[in-house]
Structure 1
Amino acid sequence: MQRNEIFRDTNSLYLGWDEYASSELLEFGSRYSGKMVLDVGCSIGEYSREMSVRGFNCVGVDYNPKYIEKAKAKGVEAYVMDACHLDFKDKSFDSILMFEILEHLGDPLSALQEAGRVAKKSIMLTVPNFSKFHELNNCKLTYGDVLEEDHVNFFTKEELKALLNKISKHNIVMEREPIYMHRLLPWYIRKPISLLYNLKLLKPSLYRRFYAVIWLEESTTK
C-alpha cells in the first residue's frame, strides 16, 4: 500500500465527495441551534446546505478556497475565512457549528473564543474521542482519526471539558457514535453478541466522537 492510501490529507479529501452529511450530526446541530447559524470549517458545504433545508439561515466559512468554491456551487453562502479571525461583528449569529475542527487547529482556544464573540446563544462542536486510545493501542488497534495528517490535537473527555470551561462553565460533553469491536470476530461469535446489543443487555464502551455544546453566558436556555 501507498502512504496516501493510509494517511488522509484533508486539504483535498472532500473535493471528490458530493454528499456525506451525517443525519446524527444534523439532528445534533438542529437541536441546539438558534435561527442564524455559522458553520465554521464548512468544507464543501454539506452541513450548511442541509441546515438551510431544515429552515436555518446558515452561512459557511472555511480556510480552503477549493472547498468554498464547491460550497458556493451548491448554493451555500460561503466565505474563505480563518476560524481564529472571523470577519463578522460581535453576536452576528445565534449559534456556531464546529464539526471536526478543533483537532486541526494549532490554537483551539482562540478559535473557541472567536466563536464565542460571534455567537449569541450556543456553540456546537465535535472532535474525535481519544479517551480509550491507550487501551486500543495496547491491542495494536487505533482510531481512523489518527490517520489524518493534519490532526494536531487529540482530546480525552477531561481535556476537552477543561478547554470548554475556559469559554463557559455551561457546557456538556457527550460520547457518540459507538464502535462495536465484536464486528471483528467470526460471525458465529459476532451474531449472539449483536443480539445482546440489540436487546440492550450490552452497552458499548468505545465511542468515536465527542459531541459538545457550549451555552454562552448571555444565554440561559439549554
Structure 2
Amino acid sequence: MTETVGWMASPSALKLDYLKHHAIGSTALDIGCGRGWYASALADAGFRVTGMDQTKRVDDERIHVIEGEIQAPLPFDDASFDTVLMFDILEHLGEEAAILDEVARVCRQRLILSVPHADAGPLPQYGLTYLHYIDDTHCREYLPNALGDLLTGHGFQTVSLQLEGQPTIPLAFSEFVRGGAVVRQWVRYAITALYKIGLIYNDHIAGDIFYVGDRTPSV
C-alpha cells in the first residue's frame, strides 16, 4: 500500500479489497473521490458511480463528479445510493454530525469508511508517531469503539470494524542497526521470523480504522 500524507501516490490494495468484499448494490457515491481510483474500481465492477470532491481530478468518463465543498446538505435524494464510500475524508470535515446525518439520508444500505487511528500506543515514547499526526488538515482522529458508537448514533449497524496496519513496518528498525548492509539484512530476517511466529505484533502500529456498516431499518 503506497500512500503519503495529504495525497495518495497510488491506490491502496487494502482499500480495493474492502470494495471487492463489501460494496453492494448497483449505485455508489464516493465522497472525497480524489483521482477516482476507487470510483473507477466500482465502475469496473458494474456500479453506476457518482464522486464528490473539492476539485475535479477524475479522468474516468464513467464517473459523474460533483465538484465543490463537501458539506451538508448533500445534493441527492433520500436513499440514492446502495453503497457510500468515505476513504480518508471524515477526519477533514468540520461538520461531522451534519455530514453523517446526510450520509445516512442518501445511503440506501452500505457505508464503507476509513479514518485515522488516534491511539499511537507505545510509539511516542520512542520518538515515533503516525504520519497522519503531522497532517494539519485533520480536524480529529478516532478510536475504534468510539467510531462504532458514533456511526450507530447516526443510523448504521456495524458489519465490520477493524484496525488495519502494515506488518512490514517493524522492518524499518533494521535501518538503525550498525554494522552495514549485511548485518541490517540479518536483522530484517530476524524481525520477519519473529513476526511470523507471533512474537512480534503490530496492533499498536495499525494507523487506520476501517468501518463497514448497514443502514438501520426504519421502525
* TM bucket, shorter chain: 0.7 to 0.9
Per the normalisation by structure 2, the TM-score is 0.81
SS for the counterpart of 1:122 is: strand
Residues in 1 aligned to 2:22 and 2:65: alpha-carbon distance in whole angstroms: 22
Between the two proteins, what is the percent identity of the paired residues?
Answer: 25
Moved more, 200-209 or 135-144: 200-209
Alignment-mate amino acid for residue 218 of structure 1: P
Per the normalisation by structure 1, the TM-score is 0.80
1:27 has 2:17 as partner? yes
Q: Deviations over 1:78-131 (max 9, x none)?
A: 112424321010001101000001110112222121111001111110011122
> Any gaps of 5 or more consecutive residues in structure 1?
1-6
Q: 1:216 to 1:154 in 2, by over 3 A?
A: same
Q: How does 1:3-152 map to 2 (within 5 A)?
A: 10=6, 13=7, 20-34=10-24, 35-62=26-53, 64-65=54-55, 68=56, 70-71=57-58, 73-75=59-61, 76-81=63-68, 82-132=70-120, 135-152=122-139
Residues in 1 aligned to 2:71 and 2:211: alpha-carbon distance in whole angstroms: 18
SS for the counterpart of 1:123 is: strand
Residues in 1 aligned to 2:34 and 2:125: alpha-carbon distance in whole angstroms: 34
- Whether the aligned pair in 2 keeps the contact of 1:131 and 1:157 (CA below 8 Å) is no
> Any gaps of 5 or more consecutive residues in structure 2?
178-183
- Whether the aligned pair in 2 keeps the contact of 1:129 and 1:210 (CA below 8 Å) is yes
SS for the counterpart of 2:119 is: coil
Residues in 1 aligned to 2:73 and 2:193: alpha-carbon distance in whole angstroms: 49
2:180 is matched with none
Paired residue total: 200
- Whether the aligned pair in 2 keeps the contact of 1:42 and 1:48 (CA below 8 Å) is yes
- Over the residues paired in the alignment, what is the CA RMSD in angstroms? 2.3
> Quick check: which has more Rg, 1 or 2?
2
